[in-house]
Amino acid sequence: MDKLNFNDFKRTFTYKDKYKKVGFVAFPKAMFFDERLSVYHLKVAGILEIHAFSGKKQCFPSLATIAIEAAISKPTVIKCLNELQSLGYIEIEKKHRKVNHYYLKFW
């Protein structure tokens, strides 16, 4: 069996069935008016918010999951995560050979 590459997986993923039609994501207004943040930053932050445990403000989606659900490349996800952390919006706990844990600090 051939390996499934990221772009093939992205095309077969049915994101709309999982999240698009149910619920909402809330952000502080300050994030929308922060000129340092791009649409990509907001998409990544939104995906983290979707995956956050209720009331706990932590999550651990993989980089591939974030990239697929935000419809952006993995390098862009990594860049946005690092910038969101340096701006104080999230905290990243790196796990060796495991999925990182993300703590939302924008609330």
Contact 90, 103 (CB under 8 A): yes
pLDDT at 1: 45
Cβ neighbours, 10 Å, residue 6 = 12
| pLDDT means over runs of 10, the chain (107 residues) | 54 51 80 96 94 85 95 97 97 91 90
Number of helices (H) and strands (E), helices first, in the chain?
Answer: 6, 3
pTM here is 0.79
Rounded-to-integer distance, Cα 31 and Cα 86, Å: 14
